Amino acid sequence: MRSWKDIQWPMADTMGEVLHNIGMNKLRTAATGFAMASGLFLVIVLQGAGNGVIHTFERNAGDFSFNAIHVFGGSTTMPYHGMKEGRHIQLDERDVDMARRHFSAQVESAVPVLEHSGLVASRGDCHLSNVKVSGVWPQFAQIEAVRIVEGRFINPIDLEQHRKVIVLPDKQADMLFPQGEHAVGGIVDIGGIPWRVCGVSKTNGDQWDTEFYAPYSTVSAIYGKGNRIDRLSMVMRRVLNGNESQAFRDEYTRATSQIHDFSPQDLSALWIWNQAEDSRAMNQAMGILHTAFWVLGLLTMVSGVVGVSNIMLISVKERTREFGIRRAIGARPWSIVRMVMLESLVITLAFGYAGMVLGVVFCQYMDSVAGNQTLDVGVMQAKMFIDPTVDLSTCLTATLIMVVCGTLAGFFPARKAVRMKPVDALRS
């Protein structure tokens, strides 16, 4: 029976010969390794970038309630009852009453929202321009998924007593109340009117950054809104599917057309935004995006494997005479195949690991650079990338696939070469 030492020495000799062959063919080794490392690097970077985009979509989707519908006034595009097209439809409190009474079977709650923009908020030496104060009801926090990190949101007593209290976004609160001051309870001047801060909301840089929330009744009284409203937000009793959403949209447009005297077929008179439809479209887009990045990654891996295979094929072809000499002096075919496979394994492991590490490092670089940048689209600021990283299982799976394919890329040409007769191999 062979001892461990009897097995250990041949293995050591074989590995020494493998490393010697690799060192003697630096250009070939570098070409094979580059194909392996670049393929794996691109796979990980593509997956990381795809995850960054998908995480951004998911974060934005998490900021909304999927059973909410918002209605905005639009402009008519059809003449109706002697009136020309181009009329602006101004929503008012009649729309709120109609939604609550005529659509009670579908609508759980309907609340109006007022908006007053272009204000300046100041405290001490800090002045913030282009501030928007939104007059809201307490249910608004549920509709827009407002997250309170300090204090509270608007409550019914604030509406009843017309209190001048306000909820600040966290970033604006930090600017108005610097050096660790508590914003809640403080006074902020907005448009020449003092407001007491009752709460601070979390924005994460991807919500309406300059939107301050105040009681609906207070905003209506201060800015003379009368019975006009800027938008109507409704919470549905359940999430509507595509057909139900379209049926509700048509029915609601017909009911509203009787109030504001426009054609029921005029689709531009109202803008109805169903967040559930956006959610479905977003989920579909994320699924397509995820599949596309995986397909690109797999194609990149295939190109890397093809590159490794071609180089190994050329390498084995160049060494056919060497294999013939080995066969002539008594080497077994399997020992030659094993040596070639070990060379492939060492090269693919070393350069595959290098490609994986470089890919992970580049993903971290994307996270540190693009992850901290925001895209300003005027009314809001959104992060471009959120956590563009790849999980460990994906890295290891991609590396394992490349290593196995690279090893097999050395096996098949070597097996074909050792099947040649030693005399034919020596002549080649």
Looking at the structure, tell me whether residues 173 and 213 fall in a common domain. Answer: yes
Asked if 55 and 195 sit in the same domain, the reply is: no
Same domain, 236 and 336: no
**Span 232-290, pLDDT tens digits:** 998 888 877 778 888 888 899 999 999 999 999 998 999 988 877 766 777 777 778 77
Alpha-carbon distance of 357 to 379, in angstroms, equals: 39
Q: Clarify whether residues 313 and 379 are in a common domain.
A: yes
In percent, the amount of the chain with pLDDT more than 70 equals 85
Asked if residue 402 and residue 376 are part of one domain, the reply reads: yes
Split into its structural domains, the chain has a count of 2
Within 13 Å and on the Cβ side, how many CA atoms surround 242? 2
- Write the pLDDT tens digit of every residue in 12-49: 666 776 677 667 777 777 877 787 788 888 888 888 88
Indicate the SS3 state at residue 299: helix
Q: What average pLDDT does the structure give for the chain?
A: 81
Half-sphere exposure of 341 (CA within 13 A, CB side): 13
Domain interval for residue 118:
68-275
Q: Are residues 186 and 236 in the same domain?
A: yes
Q: Per residue in 99-108, pLDDT tens?
A: 999 998 888 8
Percentage of the chain surpassing pLDDT 90? 29
Is 220 in the same domain as 295?
A: no
Give the alpha-carbon dihedral of 123, 127, 132, 135, to 10 degrees: 10
- Domain match, 211 and 316 both: no
- Predicted TM-score (pTM) of the model is 0.61
H-type alpha helices, 144-264: 156-160, 170-176, 216-222, 242-260
**Taking CA 292 as the corner, what is the angle to CA 59 and CA 47, rounded to the nearest 5 degrees?**
60
178 and 112 inside one domain? yes
Q: Which residue has the tokens 């540190």?
A: 368
Both 182 and 96 in one domain: the answer is yes
**Range 202-224 average pLDDT:** 80
Same domain, 26 and 58: yes
Last residue within a domain, chosen from 247, 275, 303: 275
Residues 6 or more apart in contact with residue 163 via CB below 8 angstroms: 157, 196, 215, 218
Say whether both 242 and 163 belong to one domain.
Answer: yes
